[in-house]
Amino acid sequence: MSHPFLDLAPLTAAHFAAIEQRVARLLGTGQDVVITQGEALLPLEGCIRGAAGPGTTALNVITGPYGQTFGGWLRDCGATVVDLAVPFHTAVTAEQIGQSLTEHPEIDFVSLVHAEAATGNTNPVAEIGAVVREHGALFMLDAVASVAAEPLLPDAWGVDLCVIGAQKAMGGPAGVSAVSVSERAWRRMAANPAAPRRSYLSLLDWKERWIDAGRAALPHAPAQLEMLALDACLERIESVGLETVTARHASVAAATRAGALALGRGLEPYVYEARDAAPVATTLRVPAGVDASDVVARALAAHPGLPLVAGGGALSKEMIRVNHYGPDATTETVDACLAALGEALDEATGDAMGQALGEAAAG
């Protein structure tokens, strides 16, 4: 029996290279693009382990949970790590980065997350990039949650390692990702004796066996389903226009923020300033006395499939996230999310009041 997912011919080296070119066009980059066959954590870890070692001093900017993960990898590589953490309700500023670089002139690596889907903030990378470039450190950017949701210009911003994944605003598959690598970053990795070689985490292996070998033969069997899906999602973005896709994310984010405030019921944008709010997802703070994960559970019980989720870990009580990206970047979806949250909040506060009255009557 034939099946659309099965019995596919292997993806050719030429097709693989053409998809890499398409990613380079999407990023507007003249750097090498390496497509990595795994979820975006693969190239993120590959970049850090490739570029950092015992001689590295890294400025690790923490504006959400991914920054914490990067700090762990950097320490594991033997790097000296300077953490710069800012509260999740705001963005880091270029001034704060500049101050850290002045205080620690030995910093030679900076890791930053562009937009944080998990906490709903976004950082001013253009300004930060100028400060990092002036200092001379290698600059790694996690752009998984910003690509196709907001402007992303790695070359203009001086990004040496720019990691993207297709599963958020690109509306593509989760099992494949990509990184653009500057000449400087290649040199850093080549000079790092601790950089992974003959390893799934090795970007240098791909340089040596794929890029420098003229992209003639793939070193491993290509993940063909994911590659075909990545190609299809790039083609769709090209045909609609990248600007149209980012504009749609910006407008649904603004509508979610305004809609949450208009809804009342004590719901507030988690990120204080609209300019610091990520177009990929909007985070909301629930009123005191209400549990965010309970509100989300109620909303999803009544309206299964809406892109609503409670904050991760310690944020699960206070934060609700509306994941309005990819196919969910529509006003219909965010309107449905807000309506469902309104009902769920009424229910949750009604139950809490009923309980309080019951307790008062019993006491």
Ligand X SMILES: *Cc1c(COP(=O)(O)O)cnc(C)c1O
What is d(CA 31, CA 362) in angstroms, rounded to the nearest whole number?
70
Q: Considering the complex, what minimum distance in angstroms separates the CB of residue 142 from ligand X?
A: 5
Q: Considering the complex, what minimum distance in angstroms separates the CB of residue 57 from ligand X?
A: 23
Residue 70 interacts with ligand X (CB under 6 A)? no
Residue 40 interacts with ligand X (CB under 6 A)? yes
Residue 229 interacts with ligand X (CB under 6 A)? no
Positive or negative, the Cα torsion across 269, 273, 274, 279? negative
Report the first-to-last Cα separation within the chain, whole angstroms: 69
Residue 335 interacts with ligand X (CB under 6 A)? no
Residue 66 interacts with ligand X (CB under 6 A)? yes
Q: Considering the complex, what minimum distance in angstroms separates the CB of residue 50 from ligand X?
A: 17
Residue 142 interacts with ligand X (CB under 6 A)? yes
Nearest CA to 202 out of 211, 18, 30, 17 is that of: 211
Nearest CA to 186 out of 195, 199, 198 is that of: 195
Q: Considering the complex, what minimum distance in angstroms separates the CB of residue 336 from ligand X?
A: 23
Positive or negative, the Cα torsion across 15, 200, 64, 102? negative
Contact between 324 and 260 under an 8 Å Cβ cutoff? The reply is no
Q: Considering the complex, what minimum distance in angstroms separates the CB of residue 192 from ligand X?
A: 23
Site for ligand X in 156-185 (CB under 6 A): 165, 168, 174
Query: Which listed residue (45, 108, 116, 150) binds ligand X by CB under 6 A?
Result: 116
How far from chain centre, in Å, is Cα 185? 21
Nearest CA to 50 out of 127, 112, 105, 111 is that of: 111
Identify the bridge partners of residue 201 per DSSP, sorted by sequence position. Answer: none
Q: Give how many residues touch ligand X by CB under 6 A.
A: 13
Identify the bridge partners of residue 322 per DSSP, sorted by sequence position. Answer: 282, 308
Residue 226 interacts with ligand X (CB under 6 A)? no
What is d(CA 360, CA 363) in angstroms, rounded to the nearest whole number?
5
Residue 145 interacts with ligand X (CB under 6 A)? yes
Query: Which listed residue (137, 144, 284, 296) binds ligand X by CB under 6 A?
Result: 144
Query: Which listed residue (23, 48, 86, 113) binds ligand X by CB under 6 A?
Result: 113
Query: Which listed residue (24, 25, 39, 98) binds ligand X by CB under 6 A?
Result: 39
Contact between 147 and 26 under an 8 Å Cβ cutoff? The reply is yes
Q: Considering the complex, what minimum distance in angstroms separates the CB of residue 166 from ligand X?
A: 10
Residues lying near ligand X in the complex (CB under 6 A): 39-41, 66, 113, 116-117, 142, 144-145, 165, 168, 174
